[in-house]
Amino acid sequence: MDCLEYLRQIPDNSVDLVVTDPPYNVSQKQDLKFNGRIIRKNFGDWDFGFDPEPVLRELKRVLKPNGQIYIFCGTKQIPLYMGLMEKNDWFFRNLLVWYKTNPAPRMSKTNFVFANEYIIYAINEKVKPGSITFNFTKQSEMHNTFISSALQGKERLRDKNNQAIHPTQKPLFILRKLILLSSNQSDIILDPFIGIGSTAVAAKELGRKFIGCDIDNFFVFIARNRLKRVNGSSESQTI
């Protein structure tokens, strides 16, 4: 289902936490070749022309006043999200950095390698920080940086031709940490861009409730199959 159509069915102030990975608008129409390999640059029609403003408006409505939100985004989207949040009275809290240890190579060699993605962290309304769920652990574990690979290992879900099923699958360890920090068991976690279900898998593993949608029927099919295996076989199973 389209995310706006889905969100409009959710009651006001009913969601505890949003963890989501909307389109970055970085796709290019043509894929590229590098060292004899095809580099995927066209992720799909969903990654062209995405406007986050109406989505943020609906997310603000469905979140509880002290509900929190984590939004994965690309470098160029940071000022866009920051401007929209200031305009619509979100309580911005931090900009988290995901540093990838194996970023895509810079083929032209005329710029730095893009090794980072970002996560906007905010609260629905300007409340006292002590009134929100935030399960702070040790100082050494609470840096605003996550370090991991870009999922080229066994966690990446692949088809029978060894191709990635979803081009922007996110690491479970990041999703688990965000959910652990900003929710409690039985809280409702929402992801309106659920893709192949990584947020839902992390939520189910941690005893949270989850809701979400995706516009791609095949991705939803994969997500449902994946959820059936949360307490069973390995994430590396070929589908």
Q: Quick one: average pLDDT of 16-40?
A: 75
Burial 93-106 (b: 16+ CB within 10 A, else e): beebebebeeeeee
Does residue 104 fall inside a structural domain?
yes
Helix 53-62 and helix 78-87, axial crossing angle in degrees, nearest 10: 50
Place of tokens 């939520």: 203
- SS3 (DSSP) at 40: coil
Decide if 173 is inside a domain.
yes
126-179 residue pLDDT tens: 998 889 999 999 999 999 999 988 876 777 878 887 777 777 789 999 999 999
Please give the Cα distance from 125 to 2 (Å, whole number): 26
Pick the residue with more confidence: 92 or 229?
A: 92
Q: CA 181 → CA 26, 78, 89, 198, 234, distances in Å? A: 29, 22, 23, 17, 25
- Cβ(78)–Cβ(5) below 8 Å: no
Domain that holds residue 150: 3-228
The answer to whether residues 66 and 124 touch, using CB atoms and an 8 Å cutoff, is: yes
237 pLDDT tier (thresholds 50, 70, 90)? very low
Structure letter (DSSP) for residue 224: H
Instruction: Assess whether pLDDT exceeds 80 at residue 13.
Output: yes
- The lowest-confidence range among 91-100, 115-124, 217-226, 229-238 is 229-238
Could you tell me the two tokens for 74? 């690309």
Instruction: Please give the C-alpha separations between residue 122 and each of 112, 208, 229, in angstroms, as whole numbers.
Output: 29, 20, 32
Q: Quick one: angle between helices 198-205 and 217-228, nearest 10?
A: 20
Q: Is residue 144 part of a domain?
A: yes
Tokens of 130: 């002590």
- The number of distinct structural domains making up the chain is 1
Residue 44 lies in a domain: yes
Handedness of CA 24, 26, 29, 32 (dihedral sign): negative
Percentage of the chain exceeding pLDDT 90: 69
Euclidean distance between CA atoms 30 and 204, whole angstroms: 37
Q: Virtual CA dihedral for 132, 135, 138, 142, nearest 10 degrees? A: -60
**CATH code, 204:** 3.40.50.150
Return mean pLDDT, the chain. Answer: 88
pLDDT digits (tens, 9 = 90+) for 31-81: 666 666 666 666 767 666 789 999 999 999 999 999 999 999 999 999 999
Confidence of residue 193 (pLDDT cuts 50, 70, 90): very high
Domain-located, residue 139: yes
For 223, residues 6+ apart whose C-beta sits below 8 A from its C-beta are 194, 195, 196, 197, 200, 214
Q: How far is CA 228 from CA 139, 157, 175, 189, in A?
A: 36, 15, 18, 18
Residue 200, in any domain of the structure: yes
- In 3D space, the residue among 208, 213, 209, 231 whose CA is nearest the CA of residue 223 turns out to be 213
Residue 111 lies in a domain: yes
For residue 234, being part of any structural domain is answered with no
